[in-house]
Amino acid sequence: MIYAPPYARNSGGKTALWKLAKALKEKGQEAYIYIHRTETNKDLPAVSYYDLEIIDTLPDDAVVVYAEVVYGNPLKAKKVVRWLLNHPGLLGGDTEYDEKEMMFTHSLAFGDYDMLFIPPFELDIFNTEGVGERKGSCVYYGKGKKWNAELIEEAEESGFFNESVMITKEWPATREGLAEIFKTSEMLYCFDEISGISTEAGLCGCPTIIFSRAFTDKRYLRSHFIVAEGIGIGNDEIEYAKETVHLVKEKYLDYIKDCDNQLDNFIEKTQNEKNW
C-alpha cells in the first residue's frame, strides 16, 4: 500500500510514490494507492495511466509505504516502510522514526539506508530531439521560495531575470511544454537546489546554474544531484555547466542501471515475514 498525496505530475516526490506502485505491479506484486486527501477525482487520469487502483481500506497484512513527509503512522499499519524522498523534516514530517520501520532512501544524501531509486524522468519527452536555435534563459524558484527567499528578492530587484521565461509549478501545464522550453533556452537559472528539474533541463541540452544560500558547502550540495554534469553552482561555474551538459543523458543512464536490482531488494525485504 503506497500512502500518497493526490497525483501531481510536476512534483518529483508525489510522482515517485505513484511510479513505485506501478513498478511493483510490473514485478507481479499487489500494489495499491491510498490517497490521504479527498481529491481523488483529480487523480483519475493518473490512475488510468499507471494502471493502478485507489483503495480506502487497509488489509491487515499490508505493507504500507510512507514518504518522509508523513508524520507517524496514520494508518496504524503493522508493517511500515519509510521511504526518504528528501531530508527528514525538511519539507515536513518527523526527523526520527520508529525503530521497527523498514528504511529505504531515494538518495544516499538523505540517509545511509538501502537505495530505492525509481527513475523519474521521461526520456521520450526530455531529450535533444528537435532542438533548434537556443535563445535566452528560463528561471525556476520551486522550493527555493522558502529557503532562498532573500536571494530571489535580490535577483528580482536587480532585474536579472526580466527577460527570462518563468517556470512555475503550474506553468507550463504539460511535461512536453516544459521540455520545449528547455530545448529552446540557453540556460536554466534555478533556486531549488534539490529539484530534479536541473536534470530534466540537462537531458534537453540546457545547462543549469543553481543559486543557493541554504547550502554553502558545494561538495555537500553536489551530493544531492542525480547527475552532477550540466549543473553549475553560481555564476563562476557557467563554463563547467555548458561544457558538461552533453554528458547528462549518459551519466543518468549509468545512474539508473541498478534500479531494477534495488526494486528486487525492496520486494525481497518487505515480503519476507522474518523481517517483521
Greater confidence, 73 or 224? 73
The C-alpha cell of 38 is what? 479527498
Any domain includes 275: no
Please report, for the domain that includes residue 188, its CATH number: 3.40.50
Let me know the angle formed at the C-alpha of 124 by 123 and 128, rounded to the nearest 5 degrees: 75
Q: Are residues 152 and 186 in the same domain?
A: yes
- Look at the alpha carbons of 80, 85, 90, 96 in this order and tell me if their dihedral is positive or negative: positive
Q: Are residues 110 and 184 in the same domain?
A: no
Cβ 14 vs Cβ 4: under 8 Å? yes
Q: Is 28 left (phi over 0), alpha (psi -120 to 50) or beta?
A: left
Q: Are residues 81 and 153 in the same domain?
A: no
Query: In this predicted structure, what is the pLDDT of residue 45?
Result: 53
Average pLDDT over residues 21-39: 84
Phi, psi for residue 4 in degrees, rounded to 5: -130, 150
Q: Residue 216 to residues 93, 148, 210, 211, 222: CA-CA distances in angstroms? A: 24, 12, 12, 10, 11
Which of 118, 145, 176 is the endpoint of a domain? 118
Query: In this predicted structure, what is the pLDDT of residue 246?
Result: 98
User: How many CB atoms lie under 10 A from the CB of residue 106?
Assistant: 24
Residues whose CB is less than 8 angstroms from the CB of residue 126 and which lie 6 or more positions away in sequence, other chains included: 175, 179, 182, 200, 203, 204
Q: Are residues 38 and 96 in the same domain?
A: yes
Q: Is pLDDT at 8 greater than 70 in this prediction?
A: no
Domain hosting 48: range is 2-118
Q: What percent of the chain has pLDDT over 90?
A: 70
Nearest CA among 184, 202, 93 for reference residue 138: 184
pLDDT band at 219; cut points 50, 70, 90 = confident
Q: Is pLDDT at 216 greater than 80 in this prediction?
A: no
Q: Are residues 84 and 164 in the same domain?
A: no
Mean pLDDT of the chain: 90
Let me know the angle formed at the C-alpha of 195 by 98 and 202, rounded to the nearest 5 degrees: 140
pLDDT band at 33; cut points 50, 70, 90 = confident
Q: Is pLDDT at 43 greater than 60 in this prediction?
A: no
Cβ 193 vs Cβ 215: under 8 Å? yes
Cβ 62 vs Cβ 79: under 8 Å? yes
Q: Are residues 114 and 143 in the same domain?
A: no
Any domain includes 267: no
Nearest CA among 89, 87, 56, 91 for reference residue 74: 56
Phi, psi for residue 79 in degrees, rounded to 5: -120, 110
Any domain includes 173: yes
d(CA 64, CA 80): 5
Residues whose CB is less than 8 angstroms from the CB of residue 6 and which lie 6 or more positions away in sequence, other chains included: 14, 35, 37, 39, 40, 42, 43
Q: Are residues 204 and 142 in the same domain?
A: yes
Q: Is pLDDT at 95 greater than 80 in this prediction?
A: yes
Write the pLDDT tens digit of every residue in 68-93.
999 999 999 999 999 999 999 988 89
pLDDT band at 48; cut points 50, 70, 90 = low
